[in-house]
Amino acid sequence: MMILAALLLAAAEPVCAVPAVLDEPWTSWTRSGQATAGVLAHGAPALILGKPLTAALSPAAQVQFRVAPGKGAKDGYGGLFSLSLKQAARVGIALSGPAWVDVVTGDASIASVEHGHGPDCSGIRKIVWFDLRAGRHLVQIVGSKAASVRVMAADAQANHPAN
């Protein structure tokens, strides 16, 4: 039984001799700044498109989420970030570890339009995509088992600039 579990774990996590080379919009993924995620919406640190952060999270029970998170409201660690957009965009929120991510506009949670994993050996555990209008949004992370996570917001059009 233990051998089977080890084989399943090995199949789920690729062994990487070299990190993956990432395409746009993720090319800056490994160049992280540092931040402490907010516990209140007011004063939450900003996510800037294309600028990853390694974020210190707080126990989720201490975070005042604007709307109830989709999963794990009181589990693990979490935090809040602001995200401002000058124009409407499809935005991907990438995380380095397992956690739930919501985007809130006003007092409403925005439904994701797509989700998946990052490339093998990239360090991107998951990417959740949202179609967002111009303006200010709140990014809620919750349910992380780790007290820190790398997070990055990216515009899907970063690899397809307008002519």
**Domain parsing of the chain, residue ranges:** 18-158
107-162 pLDDT, tens digit per residue, is 999 999 988 887 777 777 899 999 999 999 999 999 999 999 999 999 988 644 44
What CATH number labels 18-158?
Answer: 2.60.120.380
- pLDDT for res 23: 64
21-33 pLDDT, tens digit per residue, is 666 666 566 787 8
Whole-angstrom distance, CA of residue 139 vs CA of residue 41: 9
pTM over 0.75: yes
